[in-house]
Amino acid sequence: MNDKPPQHIIIDQSPGEIRVAVLELGRLSNIYLEREHQSSLRGALILGKLQAVKKELNAVFLDLGHVVGYLEGIPKSLPAEGGALLVEVLSEPRGNKGARVTDKFMVAGILVDINPNESGYAISRAIKSKGKRAAIRELLYDLVPKDIGAFVKSTALNSDMQGLEEELKELLSSWERIQSEIKLGGQPKMIKPSPKLVKLTSGYDENTIIEKGKNGLLFDKFNIDVQISNALEPTIKIKGGIVLIFEEMEALTAIDIDLASFKTAQSHPRELAETLAKEIFWQIRLRKLSGVILIDYPRAKSLREREHFFEELKKIASRDESNITIHGWTRTGLLEVTKKRLEPSLREIFISKNSSQKPLVEISALEALRKLITNSLGIAEPQLVCARELKTAFMGPLRRALDEVNGQLGVSVDFQVDPNLSHEEFYIHARKRKKNEKQL
């Protein structure tokens, strides 16, 4: 039985950016961003060009166009150097590290996925009706070639057979088109771009509530920006005064637990273990932590309470799709957790590398664009007073988004650079006319 609470998805479409927030019982559990000026690779199918095979690393390196792809494991049927290999991008490149890719990809749909690399069919356990399962098996047998696998997802539970058949045919046609592209050669080249966020939200179950808004209004209504800010703080206070301290480093993340203000730590140790397991898992997922994560669990009178925390964390991870692995205790008494890196951490998405807490310039610029739309009503000639870095962003990578705002306002926004402002500070007012300046 699935005891996970129903999800509430908020989609905000603003100039230059789409933001998708996932809430559970009103609390932010995940956030996804799609920025117009940044091309995303994750989820894209690319016909890569084989650069090198490193047997000592058990890895293959591919030219994906503008970045290098890293394939862990050496496929049995591997083309010669310079040959083509179709891969799916699992994670974006980071710093000097290439994008992680896989040759074991699926062509994903909303109701069903097809797997060109495997054979056989599978149907979600959520579909329990024997009659419907039999009808689905018959459909798969009739339509899907023997050398292609298929998985019918839980989202097909309330879909009719006609809708499932239409999607399955479209996916198979899509795979035929992909094969035709492969035969044309010309690697490296993009075969299928990264899927869009708004399209991905259509794959949730029937209990999911989806609301769409514009220009940050729904994010304000559900206090999402404040929750994001809280998740970017290195320390948070939770139930009973427990403080969690997060230290994110290049190679690992350390999580320290401070019980100084938690008065029932000794009298209710099992409750403490369960509270910490739930909150730490939530924070790992929300903060998009990855790699090696070391948790410094407080010393207890009995090792049973520490093991209870370990088992609770494992149980929560087994019910979630976050790909978090709970390994065990190190010799120094730290709990080791790992999570494959599929995306940047929350701090990398929002916080400048040159500052411990200041937001990226583009984050402030995109927020300013939203405020120009929502706060400029009644202002004939709005002026944005900001730092030079913010104006530079509008004149450069965010020029198209600024043009969209100008179109919505029906007037070009005027800028005034204030050297006393930092890039996260700005304000909007009516442009002041100079003496002898006439309105056209």
Q: Is residue 204 located within the same domain as residue 296? A: no
Give the tens place of pLDDT for each residue, 183-223: 888 889 998 887 766 555 555 566 788 899 999 999 999 99
DSSP one-letter string for 93-161: -BTTB-EEEES---EE-SSEEEETT--EEEE-TT---HHHHHHHHHHHHHHS-TT-EEEE-GGGTT--H
Q: Is residue 54 located within the same domain as residue 114? A: no
Q: Is residue 255 located within the same domain as residue 305? A: yes
Residue 191 in any domain: the answer is: no
Give the tens place of pLDDT for each residue, 129-170: 999 999 999 999 999 999 999 999 888 888 889 999 999 999
What backbone torsions phi and psi does residue 213 show, to the nearest 5 degrees? -145, 180
Record the tokens describing residue 433, joined without a space: 């006319």
Indicate the residue type of 390: L
Q: Of 95-99, 202-206, 406-410, where does mean pLDDT reach its minimum?
A: 202-206
What backbone torsions phi and psi does residue 325 show, to the nearest 5 degrees? -110, 125
With H, G, I as helix, E, B as strand and everything else as coil, classify residue 329.
strand
Q: Over 50: is that where the pLDDT of 1 sits?
A: no
Give the tens place of pLDDT for each residue, 230-251: 999 999 998 778 899 999 987 8
- What mean pLDDT is predicted for residues 119-132? 90
CB atoms near residue 407 (< 10 Å): 11
pLDDT at 17: 92
**Greatest CA separation found in the chain?**
82
DSSP one-letter string for 14-33: ETTEEEEEEEETTEEEEEEE
Q: Over 60: is that where the pLDDT of 338 sits?
A: yes
Looking at per-residue pLDDT, the higher value among 293 and 110 belongs to 293
The Cα–Cα gap between 335 and 172 comes to 45
Give the tens place of pLDDT for each residue, 277-324: 999 999 999 999 999 999 999 876 667 888 999 999 999 988 876 789
- What mean pLDDT is predicted for residues 330-345? 89
> Pairing mode, if any, of strands 27-35 and 291-296?
unpaired
pLDDT at 240: 75
Q: Is residue 313 located within the same domain as residue 381? A: no
Q: Is residue 249 located within the same domain as residue 297? A: yes
> Pairing mode, if any, of strands 59-63 and 68-72?
antiparallel
Quote the pTM value.
0.76
Bridge partners (DSSP) listed for residue 242 = none
Residue 124 in any domain: the answer is: yes
Residue 286 in any domain: the answer is: yes
When the pLDDT of each residue in the chain is averaged and rounded to a whole number, the result is 87
* Host domain of residue 317: 233-339
In percent, the amount of the chain with pLDDT more than 70 equals 91
Residue 72 contacts residue 218 (beta carbons within 8 Å): no
pLDDT at 193: 80
Looking at per-residue pLDDT, the higher value among 170 and 340 belongs to 170
Record the tokens describing residue 350, joined without a space: 């929002």
Nearest in space to 357 (alpha carbons), one of 366, 368, 346: 346
Q: Of 16-30, 108-122, 258-272, 411-425, where does mean pLDDT reach its minimum?
A: 258-272
Give the tens place of pLDDT for each residue, 57-92: 999 999 998 889 999 999 888 888 899 999 999 888
CATH code at 32?
3.30.420.40
Q: Is residue 245 located within the same domain as residue 318? A: yes
With H, G, I as helix, E, B as strand and everything else as coil, classify residue 324.
strand
pLDDT at 440: 46
> Pairing mode, if any, of strands 414-417 and 335-339?
unpaired
State the burial class of residue 363 (Cβ atoms within 10 Å of its Cβ: 0-12, 13-18, 19+).
buried
pLDDT at 63: 94
Indicate the residue type of 106: M
pLDDT at 185: 85
Bridge partners (DSSP) listed for residue 415 = 384
Number of folded domains that form the chain:
5
